Amino acid sequence: MSESVGQVVELFVSQRGKSTRFNRTILELDRDGVIDDKFYAKSLERSVLLTSLDSYELALKNGIEMSYGVLGENILIDYNPYELSVGSRLKLGEVTVEITQNCTICEHLSSIDQTLPSLLKEDRGIFVKVVEAGFIEKEAKIYLL
């Protein structure tokens, strides 16, 4: 395998009926997404949201301080995959994912700051689908396949 391009920083799940995102040290994923997440088995093309630390740094440079997880990501990484094309694959721990689309901006971001939706229009995250199931742990290495 080629050299690692980065690592997993944080992992999150959302639960039905709860507005809080829950931090995890390990996630289990299968072809339907993140097991125990409220979006599990809803839409394969949008089942897992991958976000780069760069999104939080961009917000911070513009005076917006946010806690990790507030962008709705399941997986926060220290590598920026936003320029990769649809169909590109990444290996995170045991899991292989494929980029399906850029994340659209949700209006709830304006409740954090009015400028956030326009600021992160192209830099909020990417949706991926699971190609190879398994576990992802915090600090897992990331490989571009």
Strand partners, 101: 127
Residue 116 lies in a domain: yes
- 133-142 tens-digit pLDDT: 999 999 999 9
Domain at 109, CATH number: 2.40.33.20
Which pLDDT value is given to residue 2? Answer: 80
Measured in whole angstroms, how far is the alpha carbon of residue 64 from the centre of its chain? 19
Which pLDDT value is given to residue 123? Answer: 86
Residue 133 lies in a domain: yes
**pTM of the shown model:** 0.93
Which segments of the chain have a pLDDT < 50? Answer: none
Which pLDDT value is given to residue 136? Answer: 98
Domains: count for the chain:
1
Which pLDDT value is given to residue 1? Answer: 66
Which pLDDT value is given to residue 17? Answer: 66
Which pLDDT value is given to residue 110? Answer: 83
Average per-residue pLDDT for the chain:
91
Domain that holds residue 87: 6-144
Residue 98 lies in a domain: yes
Burial of 29 (0-12, 13-18, 19+ CB in 10 A): buried
Which pLDDT value is given to residue 122? Answer: 82
Residue 81 lies in a domain: yes
Residue 66 lies in a domain: yes
Q: Which amino acid is at 101?
A: Q
- 88-110 tens-digit pLDDT: 999 999 999 999 988 877 777 88
Q: What is the DSSP letter of 27?
A: E
Percent of all residues in the chain with a pLDDT value above 90, rounded to a whole number: 68
Residue 1 lies in a domain: no
